[in-house]
Amino acid sequence: MKTLQFIIYGHVQGVGFRFFTWREAQRLGLTGWVKNQADGSVAVLAQGSEQQLEQFSAWLQQGSKTATVNYVESFSLETKTIFTDFQIIH
């Protein structure tokens, strides 16, 4: 299992982006979380297979129909924490 963190920049807050991200993570069978950041970006931590994470990354580049994604940063993380579901953090 691989863990990636994503930071999504653009018009991604106040447009349902966290919900749509949660829904896509559920569809792909990923675990982790999504949350708004103080600077207007959205942070995502996702765990899954290489293929699942590649599909998720491609989706994040496009975002939901209500959002405008300018760019996405991604980082591979080493963690001992294993998530059991995907959550929206408020």
Q: Residue 29 sits in a domain of what CATH number?
A: 3.30.70.100
Per-residue confidence (pLDDT) for residue 62, from 0 to 100: 96
Q: Which domain holds residue 22?
A: 2-78
Q: Report the number of distinct structural domains present in the chain.
A: 1
pLDDT band at 81 (very low <50, low <70, confident <90, very high): very high
Q: What is the mean pLDDT of residues 14-39?
A: 98
Per-residue confidence (pLDDT) for residue 63, from 0 to 100: 93
- Per the annotation, the verdict on 18 as an active-site residue is yes
- Report the DSSP pairing between strands 42-48 and 2-11: antiparallel
Helix (H) or strand (E) holding 42: strand 42-48
Does 85 fall in a domain?
no
pLDDT tens, residue by residue, 11-21:
999 999 999 99
- Per the annotation, the verdict on 70 as an active-site residue is no
Does 18 fall in a domain?
yes
Pick the catalytic residue from 23, 27, 36, 70.
36
Does 8 fall in a domain?
yes
Report how far apart the first and last C-alpha atoms of the chain are (Å, whole number): 26
Q: Please, are residues 25 and 56 in contact by the beta-carbon 8 Å criterion?
A: yes
Does 89 fall in a domain?
no
